[in-house]
Each structure stands twice: as structure tokens, then as C-alpha cells.
Structure 1
Amino acid sequence: MKIHYLVTSLETGGAEFTIPDIIKALEQFGHQVDVTACEARDMGAAPYLERAGIPYRLLDTERRNFFLTLFRILRLLIKNRPDIIWTSLSRATLLGQLAGKILNIPVVSWKNSASIRFTTTVGRPFTRLWVADSYYVARFLHEKMNIPPEKITAWPLYVAAPNTHPAPDWNGQTRLHIGSTGRLHEVKNYPLLIEGIALFRERHPQWADLVHLSFAGDGPQRAELETLIQKYGLEKHVSLKGFQTNVSAFLSTLQLYAQPSRYEGMCLAAHEAMNMSLPVIATPVGEMRNSVQPGKTGFLLQPDRIPETFCDILAEIFQNPSLLHRYGEAAKQHIQQHYSREVFLQRCKQISERLLGDLEETITEYHASTHSVRGNHFRFQRHTHQDGRLAFNNGFRAALTILITSFIANLWAGCHERKPRTGNNKISQRACRKMVCGLGSLFHLYSHGHDI
């Protein structure tokens, strides 16, 4: 199959960091993959793609008008039509869903977290197959987003790298180094960990100087965290390390890992810590609900009492230091059993086979002849109509759908615009002209849909 992989951006994040593993796995099973990012952001994931030798296309250096971005994607897909559009992250998913509907290209979409967003839900009927990054998110898609089970599959997005890092051997008499890696964003709940450290030092003064908490990452919440550290006088006990290019080196300095997120999907960071034989303290969200097992691989935080339960867990650890070694060994065993490269590739194979099976009614076998230069793969048959008016009507409906959705997206973006606005809060005349001109171009394309 020829797959166009569309992602929102190449910023620092778990969904972006896993792209090389996904692309290499798909290519291993004979698929051709073309990667496009809608915008740049901090480009933290770009080096991972470059080291893996995976070329990528960047539509723009910054976020543009939704409708104009869609139009650029349509032109790209028309010029080099894929068999499948595979989307990742919310904005790219909505763009890909609409482009797939307009051009009659099947869409496969990742779901990387157990959260419901406007940009994910508005176009969900247009996705042929949802791929959850964990089994927990797969259940979430069915139970919370009401997506039929036959349109859902799971491909856990973590591949355990071989390492021999030992479980913590901590005796309770030296400093306990706790850490977390991730973007400094409100969804991670990092302020509550800082409050938990402050509470622990207040309640247990005998251990007050033996705890240190480090955050490896950067993001919009950094200033707030710095203020909180100063408020509680924790300058010697909490460190903001910034973005780390070598996460394993950071994890090797820890005896305990913490992940107090509001919601997650796979949560690569926590699983990477477990692969480094670290016990984990986490909220029971995403796949951590299954991997972080109380009394075996780690400790669970109560989501409504994170500072208090974090404090209580630290006290339990100081009273029983050997827990860290035992839980760390069990965490490593769990990862090796469930997240090996062999398991990862087997899921890729199963999804490829299921995808072809689910779409077999719209697939025509590739005819190996001199009339094609595309290689050995399947090609999705274009949907054609004998009645030209029907083709135009389908295009008209698609165009109307995208106009309405683009209008909503612009309103939504305007409501969340952080820059000061002048006058009343309306879409500018220039934006409206762009939308109308874009719609006219789309009508021209759709009315000649059989030639696309």
C-alpha cells in the first residue's frame, strides 16, 4: 500500500517520537510511506526521523488558517494520490479525515490519549479504522466516543530497547532521587508533585533533606513551576533540567519515577522508566492503569489527592527501602514480556492484514504490467459513478461539509486566540475572502472529480 502519514507537527512529544518505529515497521511489511507534518513547532522529533533516514515534508513553519492548510493537503494528495491517509494527533486527524472524504481516500487515525477534543470528534465518522496507542485507549474509543469495536484496533506504541540497567539499590539513608520526563504542560499535573514534596518535608522532617525531584522537559508551564518552587523554598530539592536529548542518561540517575498526569494514552515516558528497572508512581490513567500495578511494579496516586498520596507513598518507601529494588525488577519483567520489538512488529502485521481485510470491497489487485511503475502493492480502487451528476453532488456535499467545518474551526481558533484583538471578535474579512476563494477552487476540482 502507498500510505500518506499526516501528523500535526514535529514537536517534542511521544506521538512524534514514535514515528520512526512506525514507519520502519510499515516499510518492513512492504508498504510505501510518505510523511507530512502540518507545522513545525519546536521540531524536537525531526532529529529522530533524520537519524532513521526517513524523509519528511513540512507544510509550514507555523500554524496557518485551517482551510488553507486543508487546501494545500488536497493539492498534495491529488498530485501524488495515496491508497491510505494515516493521521496522527488532533489537527492532522481532522485535516486528513476531511481530505479523505473529499478525495474518496480511506483514512486511518491514531488515538494517542484518553481525551475527547473537538478536533477529534467532529470528523470521526470519516475515519475507516481507529488505531489506539494502547489497549486502554482502545476501550476509551468504544466506551466514551461510541465508536463501534469493528472500527477499532490497538497498536501499543512502545518498543523496549535492550538495556542492562539494574533495579535501584537504595538503603533509605542516602538521597532519594525522583524524576519525571515530559513537556511542562498542565496535563502532566507537575505542580501537584511539587506540592507533594513540600508536604512530605513538612510532615516528615527526619527525611526532609533526603528527597530530590527533577523534571526533564520544557514547556509553557515552566514559569509557573519556578514560582511554585520559590514559594515553598524548594530550590535545593526540585530541579528543572530542561529538554534532555539523552533520556536514558537522565533516568539512570533516578531511584524512582513519577507520572501524575490527568490523562494519557500509552505514556512512553513511564514505560521507558520501567524498562530501566525503575518503579513508577503514577495516576491510574491510560495504559499506566495496567502497567503500574500496586504492590508489584509501582504505586498509584489518587487523582483527587495527588499531593497527599504522593507524600504517603514517599513515607512508605523510606520505611521500606527494599520495595524499590523489588518493584523495579518486576517493572522490567513486565516491559520485556509485553513490549518487545517482536510484539511490536507482530501488531503491525496484524493491523496491515486487518486493514486490507476491512477494505477488501474497495481494493483491486495491482496488475503487474508495463502500464505501471509503482511496484508490488495493492491500490484502492477509485470510486466512480456512471452518472456525472451524482459525482458532482458528492463533491458538493463534501465542499459544503468542509466549508462549515472550516468556519467552525476559525471561530474556535478565534475564541482561543491569545494575541490581543482589536474591535469585536469576528473572523476578518481577509480570512473570509480566503475561505470563499478556496471554496471556489474546491468546487472546480470536485465538479471534475472523475479526472482527479
Structure 2
Amino acid sequence: MRILYLINSLNGGGAERPLPAVIGMMRACGHTVRVVALARKAGNAVAWLEAAGIDYHIVDDHDPARFASLRQVLRYVRANPPDLLWTSLTRATLYGQAIGRMLRIPVVSWQHSAFLKPANRFMLRRTRYQSAFWVADSEYVARVTRSQLGLPPDRICTWPLFMAGADVPPATPWGGQGDAVFHVGSLGRLEPEKNMQLLVRAMGVIRATRPDARIHLSLCGSGSQMMALQALAAREAPDAINFEGFQPDPLEFCRRLHVYVQPSHFEGLCIAVHEAMQVGLPVIATPVGAIPDIIRDGGNGFLLAPPTPETLAAQILHLYARPDLCMQIGRAARRDILHRYGADVVRAMATAVIRRAEGLVRPRHG
């Protein structure tokens, strides 16, 4: 089966990071896959695709910020007809649905986030049956998508976009030694929905109330809020916060930390939280999206409620003072993630979805 995997861009966000693993499982089932992007954007995912030997094409690469038009994508698909269109993110899904209808190519569509802009939710609800079925990246997103798009249960299935491996080395636990620095970090696009200003303000509270605490924050990612966050950091805790930009190896970044914070306003699966837990970090996160499905407050992580700079600062300081608790929570986090997202579990779910997609193509070749 020839699969054309249509995605908005190769920016390097949460929908692009799992591409090598997703395409790898499709290949393992015997299929040929080409990733086709409507735009390059930052292009951070290009290195991941090339390292995995994945064929890709950017429909219009003259301006990295510009999405290709529906006409351009239709022309490309006509010249390179696949057996199946697999779409990711709203614009690519709407394009894929229209092209699939015109060229009589079956369409399967990902749903990555529980949050849809009102206009996108309206459009996808109208076109929901133009995708043969939908694939959610978590049980939480599946539940919300059924409600938002008005889908019957048999039109959506789950393929977790995270696979844990016991071979991934754990981070070094916080020891609490006198001159050691307690490293706090967060990964994500520096956009309003990630709410990174909450974490920066929490560092300001720590600086004001515990100037003796040797706590340092690393923020990784890029986005429209970079300059505003840098200015806020310069006011709140200028020598205790640094911005490290895009991280090609999130696991390596997490292994340098002692605690991970996810202060988002909303999330879907949130791969970054899973990666932090996989390396054995205690995670402090807002209870949004699928995060409460995987974090047991006080058991394998901490849910931040209410999400204020003061409560976040207090939780960071509590862990700073309790190396034993850091180690206990981190070990529980790693154990739970390896159990829930082990290779055998995720491969079985992915294979079931791929086999269902194969059933869309066989009748056309019969």
C-alpha cells in the first residue's frame, strides 16, 4: 500500500516529533510512505526524517512560512497517486478530505489535540465523514473528539504517539548536596497555550522568598512569545533562567534535569510529559488534556491546582528540600510509563489501526 502522509508542516512540534516512529510502524507492516508537508515552517523535523531515511516532500518550499494551496496539493497528488491519504492537523485534513473525495482515495485522519479553534471544529464537524475513520493519540483525545465532532465510537480509534523504552537511561536523581544546582526545565513551543510565563513568574517568587535556593530554570523551544518571556525573565530572575531554543533530543535535555514542569493551558497526549517521566523525573503539570490520565497526584507526579506562580514555586521548593521524595516520585513515574507505553502495547495498538486502514484499500484493488 502506498501511503501519502499529509501534514501541515515540518515545524518540529508535537505532531511531527513522533513521525519517525509512526512511519516506521507503517513500514514494518509492509507499506511505502511519503511524508508531504504543506509548508516547511522552522523545518526542525527535517533532520528527524532524514536520519530515519523517510521520504518527504514540501509542496511549496519557496517561502517557509507559507502553506501550499489546495490546488497545488491536488496537482501533486494527481501526479503521485497513493492508495491511501493519511492526514495530520486541521488544514492538512481538510485538504486531504477534499482531494480524497475528488480522486476517490480513502482518507484516514489523526486528531492530536483536545482543543480545536471554533472555526476548525465547525469545519471538521461538517466534513467528519469524509475521513473513513479517525485516529486519536490518546484515550482522552478520543473521548473529546467523539463529542466535539459528533462521531460514533466506531469511527475513531486510538494509537498512542509515544512508546517507552527501558533502554533509555534515567536522569541522575537530585541529591541535595550543598553547592549543587537544582535544575528545573520545560519543553514546548513558546506560544500562549503553553503558559510558560507561569513558570517564569514562579521563579520570580522563588527568588523573592528564597534567594539562597540554588535553583535554575531552562526553557526549551521557540515561538512568538520568546521576546516577551525573555523580558519577563530579565525582571523576575535574570541569572536563574536561560532559554535553550529548539532541542533535537528532548530525552537528552530531560536527563539534565531534576524536575520537569508542564504549565500548559491545554494539551492532548503531551509527549514531553511522557518523555520526562520516562527518564525518571518528578513532573509538575497543570491538570489538562490527557495529563490527569497518566499522573497520579502525589503518586507518580504532581498536578498543579490552582495554577498560580505561588503554588508552583511552593511545589518546586518542596522538591528542592526533599531529595528522597524526588527519587521516589521519579522512580514511580518511570515504572508507570514503561508499563503503560511499553513497545509491545503500543505496537499492538498501532498495528490494529494500520490493518484497519488496509481494509479501506483492498476492496479498491479487488
TM-score, normalization by structure 1: 0.75
Distance 1:103 1:65, change over 3 A: farther
What CA distance in whole angstroms lies between the structure 1 residues aligned with 2:176 and 2:213?
A: 15
What CA distance in whole angstroms lies between the structure 2 residues aligned with 1:189 and 1:247?
A: 19
Deviations 1:209-241 (A, max 9, x none): 322111022221110101111222x11111111
Say yes or no: does 1:188 pair with 2:189: no
Match of 2:246 among 239, 243, 248: 243
Identify the residue that residue 93 of structure 2 maps to in structure 1.
93
Identify the residue that residue 109 of structure 1 maps to in structure 2.
109
Match of 2:325 among 320, 323, 326: 323
| Partner amino acid, structure 1, of 2:307 | R
SS of residue paired to 1:60: coil
Say yes or no: does 1:305 pair with 2:307: yes
SS of residue paired to 1:335: helix
Count of equivalent residues: 359
| Partner amino acid, structure 1, of 2:241 | V
Identify the residue that residue 212 of structure 1 maps to in structure 2.
216
What CA distance in whole angstroms lies between the structure 1 residues aligned with 2:275 and 2:116?
A: 26
Say yes or no: does 1:42 pair with 2:39: no
SS of residue paired to 1:17: coil
Alignment of 1:134-145 (within 5 A): 134-145=138-149
SS of residue paired to 1:3: strand
Match of 2:154 among 144, 150, 153: 150
Conserved? CA contact 1:187–1:263, under 8 Å = yes
Deviations 1:373-405 (A, max 9, x none): xxxxxx457xxxxxxxxxxxxxxxxxxxxxxxx
Say yes or no: does 1:199 pair with 2:201: no
Could you tell me how far 1:59 is from its partner in structure 2? 0.5
Q: Percent identity?
A: 38
Could you tell me how far 1:315 is from its partner in structure 2? 3.5
SS of residue paired to 1:326: helix
SS of residue paired to 2:15: helix
Conserved? CA contact 1:167–1:324, under 8 Å = no
Could you tell me how far 1:75 is from its partner in structure 2? 2.1
SS of residue paired to 2:213: helix
What CA distance in whole angstroms lies between the structure 2 residues aligned with 1:60 and 1:35?
A: 14
Distance 1:63 1:129, change over 3 A: farther
Identify the residue that residue 164 of structure 1 maps to in structure 2.
169
Match of 1:175 among 160, 181, 196: 181
Conserved? CA contact 1:133–1:154, under 8 Å = yes
Could you tell me how far 1:102 is from its partner in structure 2? 2.0
Could you tell me how far 1:188 is from its partner in structure 2? 0.7
| Partner amino acid, structure 1, of 2:206 | F
| Partner amino acid, structure 2, of 1:183 | R
What CA distance in whole angstroms lies between the structure 2 residues aligned with 1:27 and 1:87?
A: 17
What CA distance in whole angstroms lies between the structure 2 residues aligned with 1:45 and 1:150?
A: 32
Say yes or no: does 1:255 pair with 2:258: yes
Which of 1 and 2 has greater Rg? 1
Could you tell me how far 1:3 is from its partner in structure 2? 1.4
Say yes or no: does 1:221 pair with 2:225: yes
Conserved? CA contact 1:167–1:329, under 8 Å = no
Conserved? CA contact 1:11–1:43, under 8 Å = yes
Distance 1:97 1:222, change over 3 A: same
SS of residue paired to 1:160: coil
TM-score, normalization by structure 2: 0.91
Conserved? CA contact 2:176–2:321, under 8 Å = no
Alignment of 1:19-98 (within 5 A): 19-61=19-61, 62=63, 69-98=69-98
Could you tell me how far 1:120 is from its partner in structure 2? 5.2
What CA distance in whole angstroms lies between the structure 1 residues aligned with 2:80 and 2:253?
A: 43
187-196 vs 73-82, which deviates more?
A: 73-82
Identify the residue that residue 338 of structure 1 maps to in structure 2.
340
Could you tell me how far 1:136 is from its partner in structure 2? 1.1
Conserved? CA contact 1:100–1:107, under 8 Å = yes
Could you tell me how far 1:64 is from its partner in structure 2? 8.5
SS of residue paired to 1:269: helix
What CA distance in whole angstroms lies between the structure 2 residues aligned with 1:241 and 1:76?
A: 37
247-256 vs 114-123, which deviates more?
A: 114-123
Deviations 1:325-357 (A, max 9, x none): 001001111121122222222112111233345
Could you tell me how far 1:77 is from its partner in structure 2? 2.2
Conserved? CA contact 1:217–1:244, under 8 Å = yes
Say yes or no: does 1:347 pair with 2:352: no
Identify the residue that residue 316 of structure 2 maps to in structure 1.
314
| Partner amino acid, structure 1, of 2:355 | E
| Partner amino acid, structure 1, of 2:234 | Q
Unaligned runs of 5+ in 2: none
Deviations 1:13-48 (A, max 9, x none): 121121111111011111222221111111100011
Say yes or no: does 1:275 pair with 2:278: yes
SS of residue paired to 1:163: coil
Conserved? CA contact 1:193–1:306, under 8 Å = no
Conserved? CA contact 1:90–1:120, under 8 Å = no
